[in-house]
């Protein structure tokens, strides 16, 4: 009997100890869960301080060089190529013969047209003299004149046809592609492509600028242009076009014409950088990072952190200066704006700043 009482007491003590331990663990887990829940309720964000600083108004814009003149020209007459006088990479001038087309039949036709024309001239001269003496009527003289006019037109066209057998460069430039070889049969309908000529003595660089930058630009402004391919060289450019209307991204295309150097170092398709210098080198202004704005700069809204809470503020944005934006009103120097994490925020949310 005594043994049973001792066993029961031991079991009861063990159960009491287990119950106490479980209860303690439950309280500790609840506390941890509460801490985690409180921490998870705060949105993780990155921040930046509002600064009043000297900012350079100079800016750069990038684009690709394009030739000011390029042309793929086609055959005007059908025939067979018997000689090609230019190859890819050759520099050619306007009027230079690039290829010769077989012209046997054309030459024969031209000889016949010339004979007809000379005969018509003689006939008209005889009719004109005879008319003066009354030997022919006015109608016969007029018919002779019409025959002479038609013969002359046919003769001139035959000379043009002979000239067309010599295919000539329509512009100055460099042969970029050659589409024909000796023996090629070319056609006027559909037109056979002959050569692609690119003029790189002058190139244009098309870049885009925003509304705050375009306001200071004028057609004719001189712009320095560089390219990473030639880091030790710079090229002088001139603004030739400024778009009157912004594109879909609210940017304005600007075209800059650059005169290539004697070696034509700049090539169409290279990546170029235009450096726009401001007359006013630096200006003191209040700025925030561009990515601090909710959605876009045009929204004029930013989140600031006040005692661990996100507060949505409406500001007045000024000029966009690269990755910074001028703030004209709504923020004070030293305030903290949120730069990442805004997508998860609402006004009044608790935030955790990521260092």
Domains of the chain and CATH, by start: 44-55+282-353 (2.40.420.20), 60-67+196-276 (2.40.30.170), 103-164 (1.10.287.470)
Kindly write down the DSSP assignment for every residue of 74-120, as one continuous string.
Answer: E-SS-EEEEEE---TT-EE-TT-EEEEE--HHHHHHHHHHHHHHHHH
The whole-chain average pLDDT of the chain stands at 85
The SS3 assignment for 149 reads helix
Peptide bond into 15 cis (omega under 30): no
pLDDT score at 350: 93
Q: In this model, does residue 204 exceed pLDDT 90?
A: yes
Q: How close are the terminal C-alpha atoms of the chain, in Å?
A: 70
Report the candidate in 317, 281, 326, 284 with the shortest Cα–Cα distance to residue 59.
281
Phi, psi of 212 (to 5 degrees): -75, -25
Per DSSP bridges, beta strands 43-49 and 351-353 are parallel
What is the reported pTM? 0.58
DSSP-H helix ranges across the chain: 2-40, 104-133, 138-164, 211-214
Q: Residue with structure tokens 């001189």?
A: 222
Give the single-character DSSP code of 278: P
Residues in contact with 254: Cβ distance below 8 Å, sequence separation at least 6, in sequence order: 61, 206, 207, 208, 209, 214, 217, 239, 241, 242, 243, 274
Which residues pair with residue 26 across a beta bridge? none
How far, in Å, CA of 227 to CA of 123, rounded?
70
Candidates 339, 59, 315; CA nearest to 210 is 59
Q: Which two tokens stand for residue 5?
A: 């009482």
Q: Which of 198, 189, 199 is nearest to 74 (CA)?
A: 189
Which of these ranges, 2-6, 210-214, 280-284, has the smallest mean pLDDT? 2-6
* pLDDT for the residue 211: 82
Instruction: Using the structure block, give the residue that is written with the tokens 């600007």.
Output: 254
Q: How confident is the model at residue 4 (pLDDT cuts 50, 70, 90)?
A: low
Burial class (CB in 10 A: 0-12, 13-18, 19+), 27: exposed
By residue count, the chain amounts to 355
pLDDT at site 9: 57
Q: Which of 8-17, 224-233, 252-261, 336-345 has the lowest mean pLDDT?
A: 8-17
138 pLDDT higher than 50: yes
The per-residue pLDDT for 258 is 95
Q: What percent of the chain has pLDDT over 70?
A: 86
Q: 98 or 111: which carries more pLDDT confidence?
A: 98
pLDDT of 33 reads 44
For range 14-40, the mean pLDDT: 55
pLDDT at residue 39 tops 50:
no
In the numeric block, the tokens 């025939």 are attached to 79
Give me the pLDDT at residue 36, please. 42
The helices-and-strands tally (H runs, E runs) of the chain is: 4, 21
pLDDT band at 37 (very low <50, low <70, confident <90, very high): very low
Q: Give the whole-angstrom CA distance, residue 119 versus residue 128.
A: 14
Asked whether residue 34 carries a pLDDT value surpassing 60, the answer given is no
């Amino acid at each position: 009997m005594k043994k049973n009482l001792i066993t029961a007491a031991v079991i009861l003590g063990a159960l009491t100890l287990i119950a106490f331990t479980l209860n303690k663990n439950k309280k500790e887990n609840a506390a941890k869960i509460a801490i985690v829940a409180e921490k998870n309720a705060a949105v993780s964000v990155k921040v930046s301080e509002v600064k009043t600083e000297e900012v350079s108004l100079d800016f750069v814009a990038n684009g690709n060089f394009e030739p000011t003149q390029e042309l793929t020209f086609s055959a005007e007459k059908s025939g067979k190529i018997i000689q090609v006088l230019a190859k890819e990479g050759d520099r050619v001038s306007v009027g230079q013969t690039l290829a010769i087309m077989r012209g046997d039949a054309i030459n024969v036709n031209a000889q016949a047209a010339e004979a007809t024309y000379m005969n018509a001239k003689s006939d008209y001269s005889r009719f004109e003299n005879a008319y003066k003496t009354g030997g022919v009527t006015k109608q016969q003289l007029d018919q002779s004149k019409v025959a002479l006019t038609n013969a002359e037109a046919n003769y001139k066209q035959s000379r043009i046809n002979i000239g067309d057998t010599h295919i000539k460069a329509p512009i100055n430039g460099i042969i970029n592609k050659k589409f024909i070889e000796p023996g090629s049969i070319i056609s006027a309908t559909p037109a056979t492509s002959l050569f692609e000529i690119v003029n790189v003595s002058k190139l244009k660089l098309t870049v885009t600028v925003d509304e705050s930058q375009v306001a200071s630009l004028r057609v004719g402004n001189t712009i320095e242009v560089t390219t990473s391919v030639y880091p030790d060289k710079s090229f002088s450019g001139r603004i030739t076009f400024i778009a009157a209307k912004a594109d879909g991204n609210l940017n304005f295309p600007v075209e800059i014409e650059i005169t290539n150097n004697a070696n034509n170092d700049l090539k169409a398709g290279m990546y170029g950088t235009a450096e726009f210098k401001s007359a006013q080198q630096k200006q003191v202004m209040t700025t925030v990072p561009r990515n601090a704005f909710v959605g876009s700069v045009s929204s004029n809204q930013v989140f600031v952190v006040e005692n661990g809470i996100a507060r949505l503020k409406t500001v007045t944005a000024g000029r966009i200066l690269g990755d910074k934006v001028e703030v004209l009103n709504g923020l004070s120097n030293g305030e903290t704006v949120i730069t990442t994490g805004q997508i998860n925020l609402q006004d009044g949310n608790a935030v955790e700043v990521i260092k």
